[in-house]
A and B are shown apart, each in its own frame.
Chain A
Amino acid sequence: MSTLAEQAVARTPRRLALRFRGMSDRAIAWLFITPSVLLLLAINIFPLLWSIQLSFTNYRANRPNAAIRFVGLDNYRDILTDPEVWHAMQATAHFVLWSIALEFVLGFGLALLINRRFRGHSFWTTIILLPMMLSPAVVGNFWTFLLQPQIGLFNGAIALLTGLDPSSFQMIGDVRLAPWSIIMVDTWMWTPYVMLICLAGLRSIPDYIYEAAEVDRASPWRQFWSITLPMVMPFLMLAILFRAIENFKMFDMVNLLTSGGPGSTTEVASITLKREAFEKWRTGYSSALAIILFVTVFGAANIYVKALNRVKQR
C-alpha cells in the first residue's frame, strides 16, 4: 500500500517531476508565492511608491506638457497648515467616532437579543442583516429620497410622532442635522455587521462557563460583566477596527447623500481627497494628502491591533 505522498509523486507528470527534482522546499515555496508577490508589487507597492514620489512634486495629471518640479515638503506643509483640511479631518473624526459608538452599542445589543433562541429567530436575523447587503451607492441614493422634506418617509414618520410639519426641517440641507444624517444612515447600514461579529463572539463562549457561574450563584449582571463582555471583547474590538477603517475612508455614501454639503459641513477627508485629485487635478498635493491619510489609518490601526492582542492574551 503506497502513501499519499507516493501516490502524488506517481501522478506528477514525468517532465514536471524532472524539472522540480533537486529543488529545495524553500525554492519551491518561492516558486509558488512569486506570482502573488509580483502581483502585489505591481498593484499595491508600486503605486504606493509612485504616490510617495509624486507627493514631493507639483505634478498635475491634467497638464501632461507642464514641467514637473520637485517641491520638497511643500505639499505636506500646505496640507498640515490648511484649515480646510483640518476641518475635513474634524468632520471625519466626528463621523467615525459617533457612527462607531452607535454601531457598537446597537450591534452588541442586537447580538445579545438574537443570541437568545426564540421563535422566528432565523427570520429576524436575516431581516436585520439586509441593510449591510446593499451597495453604499444604493443606500446613499434611496436615503436621499427618504430624507426629502416634502415626500420623504423619514420626515413623515418624525412628523407623525412629534406633530411637526414634515417640511419644517431638512436633514441633509441643514448644517446642524446633516452630520447626524450621515451618521444615522451609516449606523442603519452597518450595525448588522457589528451584530454579526458580536454574535460570533457570543456563540463562541462555552455554555459550561455560564453553568459554573450559575452554580456559584452569579447574577445575570455579574455574568455579563465577568464572562460575556470580556470573552466577546476581542470580537468587539475587531468589529470596531474594521468599521473605523471603513468609515475613515467612507466616500460613496456621503458623496451621494450630501456631496460634502451643506457648504463643507460633511466634507469628510475622502471627499476632500477626491476633489483635490480628480476635480482640481492637484496630483502632487493629493498624493501627499493620501499619504498622510494612509499613515494616519495605518498608525492608528497598528496601535489598535497591539491593544487587541493584549486583550486577547488576558
Chain B
Amino acid sequence: MIQIMRALGVTAVVVASCLGNQAVAQTKQLTLCWAAWDPANALVELSKDFTTKTGIQMKYEFVPWTSYADRFLNELNSKGKLCDVIIGDSQWIGGAAENGHYVKLNDFFAKEKISMDDFMPATVVGYSEWPKNTPNYWALPAMGDAIGWTYRKDWFARPEIQAEFKKKFGRDLAPPETWDDLKQIAEFFQGREIDGKKVYGAYIYTERGSEGITMGVTNALYDWGFQYENPKKPYQMEGFVNSPEAAKGLEFYKSLYKCCTAPGMSNAYMSEGLDAFKSGQVAMQMNFFAFFPGLYKDPNVGGDKIGFFVNPKQKYHFTQLGGQGISVVSYSEHRDDALAYIKWFAQPDVQKKWWALGGYSCHKAVLNDPGFPKSAPFAADFLKSMDIVKDFWAEPSYAELLLDMQKRVHDYVVADKGTAQEALDLLVKDWQKVFKEDGKI
C-alpha cells in the first residue's frame, strides 16, 4: 500500500512538473499594440513566422484610428503594462522619449548590428529619432506611409470624357501634377452623371475630432510655402506658419472643399474616403498609401479601374508623412522578448515578406530593389512620395499643437470663420503659447 502511495506521489510530481513547464512555455507571450486597419492584419500574418521561430505567442491590441491616440497615449501615460511592443504614431516620439515610455534602442541596435543606414532616411528621422536629426533612436521604422491619391482610371480613360475635357481645357485628362490641375479636374467631375449616378470631384480630409483636417490641409500648405518654423531659428513661427503664401494654400484647400467634394463631407477622414471611393462617388481621393493595396484588390473599383498619383505640387512639392515606428514599451515585463521581436522584424527577409503581405517596409533592401517600383501599381508613387515627406510637430506637446491646428483650420475651412490669414495668425498665437508653457521660447 505504501509503495502504491509512493508511486502515485512520484507520478503526481512528474505530471505536475510537466504541466508546470507547459504553463511557463504558454505564458511566453507578447502583446503588440497598433491601429485596426489592413496593415495590422498583414502584420498578424507575418508574425506567425516569429512565433514559429521563437515559440513566443503573439497577442494583439488593435484600436480604430479615431480612438488610437486616445487609447494608447492613455495607456502609456498611466504606465500601463498592456503593450509590450507598440507601433506608435510618428508624432508621439518626442513625448514618448522624454517621458520615458519607450526604451531607447541605441545600445540594442549596436549589439544586434541593426543599422539605421539600412532604412530610408526620411523614415528614420520621422519614426525613430528624438530629438530629430540626432542619432537617438526610440523606434525601428516599421510602416512607411505618406499621403497619396487614387483616381478612377476607368473614368479618366473614357473617350467621351476625354474628348469633353480636351475641348474644355485644351489638354488631355490625366492624373494631375499640380494642385491647380487637380482642382480643374475635380470641378470637371463635380456633379457629373456617370453610369446613371451623380459623382463628385475629389475627396479630401475634413475631420475635426482627432487629426484629420490637419493631415489633409498640410498637403496643400507645404506646397504653397508653409513652414512650421524658421529653419535658422527653432520655434520662431511668425512669418513661416502664417506667411501670405501659407494663407494662399489654406484658401486653396477651402476652395477645393467648397467646389468639389461630396455633400456631407464636413467631418470625414480615412474611412469615409475609402467608402466614398469604393462606392463610386468620387473621381479622386486623398488617402494614405497604407490603404492602396486593399483598394487595388477591391472588386468594384480596384484592378484596372484604379490609378494612383503622388500628391500634386505647386510652388514646392511635399506630402504629409504618415506611418509609424515600432517601439518597446519601457513598462513591459517582457522586454527581452519584445527586443527579440524587433530584432526579428529588422531582418531584410522579414521586411521583404512584410511588403509582400501588404505592409510598407522602410528597409532599403526592399525599397532599393530594382524590381520594387514595378512590384505594385502604387509602389513607384510610394517611393517618390517618401522622398518628399514632411511631418507635423513631433514635440512632447504635439497633441496640443495638433488640436490647435484642428480648431483653427476647421473653423476657417468648414465653418467659414474669418479669413485664412486670421486663422493662421491665431494658430501662431496658439502655438507660441504652447511653446512658452514648455519653456522653449
Contacts and interface: CB of A to CB of B under 8 A. Distances in A.
Contacts of B417: 175, 263
A44 interface: no
B396 A63 contact: yes
Contacts of A149: 263-264
B74 A258 contact: no
Contact of A278 (B70, B263, B414, B415): B70
A172 B95 CA distance: 34
Interface in B199-251: 207-209
Given A259-B209, A278-B74, A279-B399, A167 B263 contact: yes
Contact of A260 (B99, B208, B399): B208
Interface residues of B, number: 31
A247 interface: no
B73 interface: yes
A65 B416 contact: no
A140 B415 CA distance: 21
Interface in A96-145: none
A170 B266 contact: yes
Interface in B392-441: 396, 399-400, 403, 407, 410-412, 414-417, 437
B100 interface: yes
A40 interface: no
Contacts of B414: 173, 261-263
Q: Chain A CB within 10 Å — which of B79, B98, B264, B265 has the most?
A: B264
Contact of B415 (A62, A170, A263, A281): A263
Nearest to B401: A280
B267 A258 contact: yes
Contact of A61 (B77, B262, B396, B411): B77
A134 B400 CA distance: 34
Contacts, number: 89
A58 B217 CA distance: 32
B130 to A, nearest CB: 15
Interface string B17-30: 00000000000000
Q: Chain B CB within 10 Å — which of A61, A64, A278, A279 has the most?
A: A279
Contacts of B399: 62, 279-281
A65 B97 CA distance: 12
Contacts of A175: 415-417
B305 to A, nearest CB: 21
Contacts of B98: 63, 65
A223 to B, nearest CB: 49
Contact of B403 (A150, A261, A263, A280): A280
Interface residues of A, number: 32
B209 A260 contact: yes
Contacts of B411: 263-264
A275 interface: yes
Interface string A143-168: 00000111010000000000000011
Interface string A173-189: 11100000000000000
A55 interface: no
A255 interface: yes
A173 B208 contact: no
Interface string B63-82: 00000001001100101000
A148 B407 contact: no
A154 to B, nearest CB: 12
Contacts of A65: 98-100
Contacts of B70: 278-279
Contacts of A174: 266
Q: Chain A CB within 10 Å — which of B79, B263, B396 has the most?
A: B263
Given A167-B263, A167-B264, A261-B266, A63 B400 contact: no
A260 B213 CA distance: 14
A265 interface: yes
The 9 closest A-B pairs by CB, nearest first: A263-B415, A173-B266, A263-B411, A259-B209, A261-B208, A167-B263, A149-B263, A149-B264, A262-B415
Interface of B: 70, 73-74, 77, 79, 95, 98-100, 207-209, 262-267, 396, 399-400, 403, 407, 410-412, 414-417, 437
Given A170-B263, A258-B208, A264-B415, 8 more contacts: A64-B77, A64-B100, A152-B264, A255-B209, A260-B208, A261-B410, A263-B410, A281-B77
17 contacts: A58-B437, A62-B77, A63-B98, A65-B98, A149-B263, A149-B264, A170-B263, A170-B266, A173-B264, A174-B266, A258-B267, A261-B267, A262-B415, A278-B74, A280-B403, A281-B400, A282-B400
